[in-house]
Amino acid sequence: MKINLKVWRQKGQNTKGGFKTYNVDHVSPDMSFLEMFDILNTDLIKKNEEPVAFDHDCREGICGMCSMYINGHPHGPQQTATCQLHMRTFNDGDTITVEPWRAKAFPVIKDLVVDRSAFDRIQQAGGFVSVNTGGVPDGNEIPVPKKVADEAMDAATCIGCGACVAACKNASAMLFVSAKVAQFALLPQGQPERKDRAERMVAQMDAEGFGSCTNTYACEAECPKDIKVTNIARMNREYFSAMLTSYEVKTSGGGD
């Protein structure tokens, strides 16, 4: 296969970027999209040109680092991580446009690499359980209904890749944040910090500059781990319940 690439090149956050066109020959349909980029970069290095910077690590659809905006879709035309997208999805002679995530909260570091540390700061704001549990308890010591456990596990499969932000016209992070809130809100271990967690994580999300959710469901449609927008409804309930409790405490004289 021969593929024509239009790739976004940008040296840094404060420099102007633009598209550059490349032709990649001898592409096997069985190659992953990242392997095709490896070939491109090998050719560029042989020509003493600077290779295209892009994120990758596990290449097994687990880490979420392989964030590329391909032909108008986060991770490409299939609902999968970029590293799991294969070239057989495209046709010989196709022109493929590749861009970085577009969001104020995800500034471009270089070429296709963006700074997603905003997600880390949201997680650090409340996406954890800090109680001292002592030794390792028996697996079945705290009974959890299977339906609840399944829902918590489904939310916990979020890999934090940022595809939801890239897909949203407002660059909203609601799907990511709601998944991280929901996975703890559903389980007994997450109850002690439940209200504080929702308040802190939503506040940090807003502080990072992400947009608001307008329920277009683009995030769910593009999520490689099929995180459901029902988590957003759950997070909203968690947040408003937490805010109501805080208001009642303050108005009753129990707060500062």
Average pLDDT score over residue span 230-255: 82
The CATH superfamily label for domain 117-251 reads Alpha-helical ferredoxin (1.10.1060.10)
Which candidate, 215, 241, 240, 239, places its Cα nearest to that of 229? 215
Query: Residue 189: its pLDDT value, please?
Result: 86
pLDDT band at 249 (very low <50, low <70, confident <90, very high): low
User: Residue 68: is its pLDDT beyond 60?
Assistant: yes
CA distances from 129 to 150, 187, 205, 213 (A): 19, 11, 19, 27
Residue with tokens 């910077």, as numbered in its chain: 53
Residue type, 124: Q
Residue type, 146: K
CA distances from 196 to 5, 119, 137, 226 (A): 47, 18, 25, 27
How high does pLDDT run on average in the chain?
A: 93
Per-residue pLDDT tens digits for 20-64? 999 999 999 999 999 999 999 999 999 999 999 999 999 999 999
Per-residue pLDDT tens digits for 92-148? 999 999 999 999 999 999 999 999 999 999 999 999 988 666 676 666 677 889 999
Strands (E), the chain: 3-9, 18-24, 69-70, 73-74, 95-99, 108-110, 113-114
Query: Residue 137: its pLDDT value, please?
Result: 66
pLDDT above 70 covers a percentage of the chain that reads 93
User: What's the CATH code, domain 3-110?
Assistant: 3.10.20.30
Average pLDDT score over residue span 8-18: 95
- Cα distance between residue 166 and residue 38, in whole Å: 24
pLDDT above 90 covers a percentage of the chain that reads 87
Query: Residue 166: its pLDDT value, please?
Result: 97
- According to DSSP, the residues that pair with 69 across neighbouring strands are 74, 99
Sign of CA dihedral 149, 150, 151, 155: positive
Residue pair 169/214 in contact (Cβ under 8 Å)? The answer is yes
Query: Residue 142: its pLDDT value, please?
Result: 78
- Cα distance between residue 35 and residue 163, in whole Å: 20
3-9 and 95-99 beta bridge pairing: parallel
User: Distance between alpha carbon 161 and the CA centroid of its chain, in Å?
Assistant: 3
108-122, 163-177, 215-229, 241-255, range with the lowest pLDDT = 241-255
Q: Helix %, strand %, coil % for the chain, to 5?
A: 40, 10, 50
- Cα distance between residue 31 and residue 38, in whole Å: 10
Average pLDDT score over residue span 154-171: 97
* Intervals of CATH 3.10.20.30 along the chain: 3-110
Higher pLDDT, 176 or 244: 176
User: Residue 255: is its pLDDT beyond 60?
Assistant: no
